[in-house]
Amino acid sequence: MRCPFCHNDDTQVLDTRVSDEGDTIRRRRRCVKCDKRFTTYERVELVLPAIVKKNGSRVEYSHTKLVDSLKLALRKRPVSSDSVDEAIGRIEEKLLSLGEKEIPSERVGELVMRELKRLDKVAYIRFASVYRSFADIESFETALKELK
């Protein structure tokens, strides 16, 4: 680990502690050259799969885009932020558990719809109407029947 003060590569670990949650390691370090101390943290870096769009192009997974989509569907609906965060966590957990490097955008859309169905029926219909591009009343009615 390089010293942030003098940029020397030679540092010593003085103390190592695991966080209460068990997901982070905190290390106190000392630079051998300038004798200054600093703290580093180690966390697991999870890589979510790339998203393959309908046109075949590939984009990086975007947590922000997922959050924005859910918030738009849930706008002015009585759903708590904690519930939305939990839904996002379940979606991302499912994406990770698939163990794939790439996943079709349709699969992500279906995961979002499943979570919205659990959270709020109106938000589900809002999202489905855009996601499935309802062309007529019949497709809208089909989505409503699915909901029942």
User: For the chain, how many helices (H) and strands (E)?
Assistant: 5, 6
CA distances to 7, 24, 61, 148 from 91, in Å: 41, 23, 12, 23
Q: In the prediction, which pLDDT does 80 show?
A: 92
pTM for the whole structure = 0.64
Strand partners, 27: 16, 40
Q: What is the pLDDT along the chain (148 residues), one digit of tens a residue?
A: 899 999 999 999 999 999 877 878 999 999 999 999 999 999 877 788 999 998 999 999 999 999 999 999 999 999 998 999 999 989 999 999 988 999 999 999 999 989 998 999 889 888 887 776 666 667 667 766 776 6
112, 69 contact by CB (below 8 A): yes
What is the token pair recorded at 119?
């959270």
Burial class (CB in 10 A: 0-12, 13-18, 19+), 28: middle
Domain boundaries, the chain: 11-43, 50-147
- Contact status, residue 70 vs residue 112, Cβ threshold 8 Å: yes
